Structure 1
């Protein structure tokens, strides 16, 4: 195999190992963080400074600014986050992604194999999920550095190639070429962390004198800027087909990196001197990796500090470029929050499912209210049509929720605790679906009564309406218990289930008395009993939901009061 092939395959293999290690470490970090991710994400909906902090922390866990940006775009598209909030998180994500470069700058060549061994033993030998996840983080961390080491070893011959040295000299003299090179590299690899790791390794190769870097800090900085620009393409692609605010969020990410790169292109000597001042001292080939990491961090921190007070200006810019309002209206039977891009990010995905379950719960509450009108004798076509609309919405959305939850399980990113919680969501959605079926059965029975031209007595209608009221109250209490993690209220639902049984027995007794007094048609007994039976089953389903609340299955929430009100409005639309 000739030298060119060795270099190409070595780079490809090392890069593959690096990307695998980074993705595996990201998944393991998410699992190890578990519910702590929720606390981090709670900052998302607070003030801009907290948004920046949250963006940085989330990106440090996900090991990818692109993953954070895609998540934020999903939130904005679903109406769970405002544009200014999203932009602040994007700023933070740009800072968080520099942590990977800082890690890469550590010289741990002699410790790579012990790290891999320790991580593997923890993962392989432990029975506890948390320890296994920590072991996988360590193991993946070792693989990541092994990938870097491989890339570094195969790039050594390039440092002595006259052609390559001349090319690097051109990049150093013409910064724009470096920006283009970095952008193209990131577009191909789809990971700025990977291309920056390659840059750090290559820059660590000595030039002809054996002391200075083959490219130098001034030559590496423009490539670094290109890496930052290239990573914004992922966000732009993720925004295709999304809402206008989602497109604006992705555009803000691009503007942030492009404007920063343009300004800093004229300040490369100043940035280089500052970075050299704050970085460790020593031969350039030994410290340049850390210098590149510090340049990356400095660039993003300075850009964030400049843009943070100018978020309203950024909003104005992106709304001017992407004009118009979000005219697309989400129909009641269309999923509004579920986003397949979140499947590998459990907490955000569970947040989406929570909001979608809240939607079908809202539709079910409306169904029960309409059902009370129907059993009370209101048989207007518009009432029946409205009932059918909410019934169809629940059925369609429940199918979407079940499909999404199935994808969450097959995605393999859930911890045991999260898997139990998601299984609880499935049980809640199924119980709501059955309630919709029971209500539909009641309406069908009323349709049959209407076609038979027989009429229930006013007293019978009143008794049935009272039973529907009980079902309505039980359902509202059960859903509230889940939403607020209220165990006492859940226990109350189970106790109050007896109210339905008592009402059912009382109504049946009254109906038989009316039959004896010939006040009611005997042929309606089956229909009347069928309605009571279905309402009793609705109560059973309400207790099923309450039992999930007793098992501490609750919604994932990290929105502010303002967003909660917006979500309520969206759910009622």
Structure 2
């Protein structure tokens, strides 16, 4: 019981450290570069291809697909861009968010405390302004990896627990169940980057046979669920916004849902492609990179499929969320509501 308590505290404590570091990094990068990103998004959205690039660049710099998505929704709500311009930005944001998983796949454990120290010193010594934002972002980046290391350390005993490994075997054997697990994880944590980091750490934990306790084919359905769960942020951001802003959030949901429905039937072939484009080596040493590559492959593939069909996406969301029909005015009611002329009133 005490061991389970320690594992739980270590796992959720590490997750809290990761989320705090992620938010600290993202918020300060937005302060340092947010206005530039807004200007780029507003300037290059006339061409769908450049819209995708702008969305990917903004998300890679800000380290938050939610920030880019909310920006796009805000632009549409303010009338600064149309629905057709915003959808490619959402696609690009999905590609840009895979950069986080790619960074996490690097083994930075030996340098984590050094990154934290450098960020702390810059944060403390710099005056108010861009440099302070950058220092705080670096400090958050270090905390992010410190949280990952904490989660990785406490997961190792779980790999030797037969009850836990049997439960994981059941999840990995049923892809739909894996998708549900990934979706629920992201809905609870409200960060696909966090749940993917947990997945990468967990998959890199060796089982009794020395191989990954979940394997790439077991990780991909959970990854698909992570992508699906992250759409809730856009849907929440669209509450109370204009009809077109709600359609932008809905397009994000349709984009990820369609990809999930497609890839869930292609897990075997997708895993083979990912293994072929990833570094070779023992599974537990390369699976974090494989998961990052699977995340990138998913979002790039869906963008390539949907980008020529932006007009189709627009028609779909317009059909689901049509314009509100205004009730025709009743001429008789208008007559009754018209004030009487002074002479008539006197009579």
Same fold per superposition (TM over 0.5): yes
Q: Does 1:9 align with 2:9?
A: yes
CA contact (8 A) 2:217 2:271 kept: yes
What CA distance in whole angstroms lies between the structure 1 residues aligned with 2:321 and 2:34? 37
Bigger radius of gyration:
1
Q: Does 1:75 align with 2:39?
A: no
Tell me how many residue pairs correspond in the alignment. 326
Q: Does 1:114 align with 2:89?
A: no
Match of 2:33 in 1: 33
What CA distance in whole angstroms lies between the structure 2 residues aligned with 1:44 and 1:9? 46
Q: How far 1:44 moved relative to its partner?
A: 4.8
What CA distance in whole angstroms lies between the structure 2 residues aligned with 1:67 and 1:243? 18
CA contact (8 A) 1:116 1:142 kept: yes
Per-residue Cα deviation, 1:64-110 (whole angstroms, up to 9, x for no partner): 22222122112212222101111111101100111111111010111
Match of 1:243 in 2: 242
**Given the superposition, is the C-alpha separation of residues 233 and 38 from structure 1 closer, same or farther in structure 2, using an over 3 Å criterion?**
closer
CA contact (8 A) 2:38 2:71 kept: no
Runs in 1 of length 4+ with deviation above 4 angstroms?
none
Match of 2:168 in 1: 168
TM-score by length of 1: 0.55
CA contact (8 A) 2:69 2:90 kept: yes
Q: How far 1:325 moved relative to its partner?
A: 4.7
Q: Does 1:279 align with 2:250?
A: no
Task: Name the SS for the 1:206 alignment partner.
Answer: coil
TM-score by length of 2: 0.90
Q: How far 1:131 moved relative to its partner?
A: 2.7
CA contact (8 A) 1:44 1:85 kept: no
Match of 2:333 in 1: none
Per-residue Cα deviation, 1:104-160 (whole angstroms, up to 9, x for no partner): 101011111111111111221233733322222221111100011111111111111
Q: Which moved more, 1:196-205 or 1:72-81?
A: 72-81
Task: Name the SS for the 1:280 alignment partner.
Answer: coil
**Given the superposition, is the C-alpha separation of residues 67 and 128 from structure 1 closer, same or farther in structure 2, using an over 3 Å criterion?**
closer
CA contact (8 A) 1:40 1:57 kept: no
**Given the superposition, is the C-alpha separation of residues 236 and 127 from structure 1 closer, same or farther in structure 2, using an over 3 Å criterion?**
closer
Task: Name the SS for the 1:45 alignment partner.
Answer: coil
Structure 1: gaps (5+ residues): 328-573
**Given the superposition, is the C-alpha separation of residues 39 and 70 from structure 1 closer, same or farther in structure 2, using an over 3 Å criterion?**
closer
CA contact (8 A) 1:19 1:194 kept: yes
What CA distance in whole angstroms lies between the structure 1 residues aligned with 2:122 and 2:304? 41
Match of 1:388 in 2: none
Q: How far 1:195 moved relative to its partner?
A: 0.4
Match of 2:330 in 1: none
Match of 2:105 in 1: 105
Q: How far 1:326 moved relative to its partner?
A: 8.5
Match of 1:48 in 2: 48
